[in-house]
Amino acid sequence: MKVKNAGLLTSCPKVSQLPDTDWPEFAFLGRSNVGKSSLLNALVRRKNLAHTSSTPGKTRMIHFFEVATDVEPLLLVDLPGYGFARVSRQERNAWRGLVEGYLEGRKQLRAAILLQDVRRDFSDDETLLLDWLSQRKISAVVAITKADKLKPMQRKKRVAALRSQMEGREVPIRVTSSQSKEGLPELWRLLRDHL
Ligand SMILES: Nc1nc2c(ncn2[C@@H]2O[C@H](COP(=O)(O)OP(=O)(O)OP(=O)(O)O)[C@@H](O)[C@H]2O)c(=O)[nH]1
Ligand SMILES: [Mg+2]
């Protein structure tokens, strides 16, 4: 898929303010700092369209990016990350309300892309999210991020470990790096298959 143009459509702090659009959407979901905004930028080949953060967990809004492609227009959705330390129960509940509210009610959502750092194991956060999505019949894709951080042999081992941690869940996995750009055409192809 060729990206012709991309720009911010809107940023939403509340489920009640989601944009009333009907373009197909793909949402980036994952732990804070896993590389959601970076992957989104890399996919549309724009350096800092989605803001990457040196202060994890600052993103408390859902950002919608319009993307013109050679196939059809679509939206890429940058969701706030979870799992950073020292958040109150109230903040956790706010995250849950916003993200789950979006995912549950969004008819045009074609797939949720769950990101996972190649150097870390899946935690309950990720497996519970995958099961939550599956129960709601929301298609999920796993994008393993930051592949450039490991040498080929180590990476192979880590990807195999992550595959086995999926415990038979039938979710496609792509190995990516926003830095080296590897895996991005493969991820685009997978997304296109969900259009
Ligand atoms: N080496 C390398 N670093 C990456 C890659 N992707 C992201 N990073 C770095 O990881 C950090 C976090 O990236 P973000 O894209 O801001 O992560 P995020 O998931 O959007 O974080 P939140 O918005 O806080 O939830 C930044 O310092 C990025 O430069 C990658 O593929 N390779
Ligand atoms: Mg981000």
Domain spans of the chain, in order of start: 3-190
pLDDT average, residue stretch 60-75 = 95
Q: Which residues surround ligand 2, an ion (CB under 5 A)?
A: 36-37, 59
Residue 55: band (very low, low, confident or very high) from pLDDT cuts 50, 70, 90: low
Q: List the end-to-end C-alpha distance of the chain, in Å, as a whole number.
A: 11
Contact 51, 37 (CB under 8 A): yes
Residue 131 has phi, psi (to 5 degrees) of -70, -40
Residue 64 is encoded by which pair of tokens? 């919608």
What's the chain's Rg over C-alpha atoms?
16
Residue 10: pLDDT over 90: yes
Evaluate if residue 52 carries a pLDDT over 90: no
Atom 7 (ligand 1) nearest CA: 35
What is the pLDDT, as a whole number, of residue 83?
Answer: 84
Within 8 A by CB and 6+ apart from 170, the residues are none
pLDDT surpasses 80 at 33: yes
- 3-190 architecture in CATH? 3-Layer(aba) Sandwich (3.40)
Higher pLDDT, 169 or 53: 169
Distances (CA, A) of 179 to 20, 33, 111, 166, 194: 33, 14, 23, 25, 25
Instruction: Tell me the per-residue pLDDT of 114-154, one tens digit each, with 9 for 90 and over.
Output: 999 999 999 999 999 999 999 999 999 999 999 999 999 99
Q: Among 113, 117, 143, 145, which Cα is nearest to 129's? A: 113
Residue 80 to residue 26: CA distance in whole angstroms: 14
Q: How far is the CA of 98 from the centre of ligand 2 (A)?
A: 15
Judged against a pLDDT cut of 90, whether residue 15 lies above it is answered with: yes
What pLDDT is attached to residue 90? 85
Q: Read off the pLDDT of residues 109-124 as tens digits, 9 standing for 90 and up.
A: 999 999 999 999 999 9
b/e burial code for range 50-81 (CB count within 10 A of at least 16 → b): bebeeeebebebbbbbbbebeeeebbbbbbbb
Mutation probe of ligand 1 site: the residue of 32, 33, 79, 158 with most atoms within 8 A of C-beta: 33
